[in-house]
Amino acid sequence: MTTVSVTASSISRIPSTMQAWSVRQPGPIDTHPLALSERAVPTPGRTDLLVKVTVCAVCRTDLHVTEGDLPVHRPGVTPGHEIVGRVVDLGSDVNDYAVGDRVGIAWLRHTCGVCRYCRRGAENLCPDSRYTGWDADGGYAEYTTVPSPFAYRLPQGYSDAELAPLLCAGIIGFRALRRSGLDRGGRLGIYGFGASAHLTAQVALAEFGARVHVLTRSADARRLALDLGVDSVAGAYDAPPEPLDAAIIFAPVGDLVPVALRALDRGGILAIAGIHLSDVPVLNYENELFYERELRSVTANTRLDGRDFLALAGRHHLDVTTSPYPLAEADRALADLAADRVNGAAVLLCS
């Protein structure tokens, strides 16, 4: 277990500058699109928390922003949206957190609260939604801010390094599981087995008593899946040993969509968990969609998803597999992620 501690004395001393990464020029990770530099520590707004980052997990979405698959919304943005840290300063209107609190910062950081989507509980579809590490600077830095209504209380029994991947990999996987329509005792297929998938598999086993079949190209990932108790493992394009009631694609590979649809039983549902997916081949209606098979996307998450998932993580201790990197090697962590060299979740140790 990796532990990171922040003492009361270190909280009381807020420097004027910090180390932070920024997306200098989006492009392939081997062209070095990220730059590490000295920047001013941000000042919290009226409703913000200033957080000293202890750990920030590395997400494939960070790679998409850095490489330009997702156009940068803020020039020079600091990536990172799976952040654990301690509150070191508060905006004037914050009354629900205190200096020293351990908090989590996730992808979603703003919604309007008044549109038709927000009013019906679908704030993840809000047209005015904004995101950490895309619209605002994130956690590949020593300090960052978050609007207090979008910060998370964190469950006990986990180190900071274990908690960080829960804040996107965990929450998005949980949302995808809900979107897949999995019933108790159902048969679930998981395509790709990285940070999010290895947490989702555990939730499906613990909460649903599901039969879980993992299909991924990585031999290390297949071994990890078996260690976590899944029912079978195979290659990404192989057929599972039985028809599936539900499936989730975590790999950003559109070619897997028809493969997963063909693996579904009648009435089965396929959910695609990623924010980015390569092009999907032409689908054959009779072989891949007939018999009321469904294809669903997953768009971010609501704060309720986040709270529900973190409560679940408090009830069922999840085994979080992490690969640690120092903050100064964030570019190497992303390169390893791009090359599928990370087992579980990469995490940056920022303090």
- The pLDDT value given to residue 12: 57
- Between CA 170 and CA 183 the distance in angstroms is 19
pLDDT score recorded for residue 351: 79
Say what the pLDDT of residue 304 is.
97
In the chain, domain spans: 8-168+320-349, 171-297
Which parts of the chain have pLDDT scores under 70? Answer: 1-12
Q: What does the alpha-carbon distance between residue 276 and residue 16 come to, in Å, rounded to a whole number?
A: 36
Q: In this predicted structure, what is the pLDDT of residue 21?
A: 98
Report the side by side order of strands in the sheet with 244-249.
Answer: 232-234, 211-215, 187-191, 244-249, 264-272, 294-297
Ramachandran assignment for 340, one of left (phi > 0), alpha (psi -120 to 50 degrees), beta (any other): left
The pLDDT value recorded for residue 167 is 98
Find all residues with CB under 8 Å of 176, minimum gap 6, and list them. 196, 200, 248, 250, 271, 272, 273, 298
How high is the pLDDT of residue 2? 44
- Superfamily the domain 171-297 falls into: NAD(P)-binding Rossmann-like Domain (3.40.50.720)
- In sequence order, the 6+-apart residues with CB closer than 8 A to the CB of 46 are 91, 92, 93, 94
Phi and psi torsions of 81, nearest 5°: -145, 25
**Residue 151: helix, strand or coil by DSSP?**
strand
pLDDT digits (tens, 9 = 90+) for 302-338: 999 999 999 999 999 999 999 999 999 999 999 999 9
Burial (CB < 10 A; 0-12, 13-18, 19+), residue 250, is buried
Predicted pLDDT of residue 343: 85
- Yes or no: say if 189 and 239 are a contact pair by the CB < 8 Å rule: no
Amino acid present at 135: D
CATH of domain 8-168+320-349: 3.90.180.10
CB 283 within 8 A of CB 261: yes
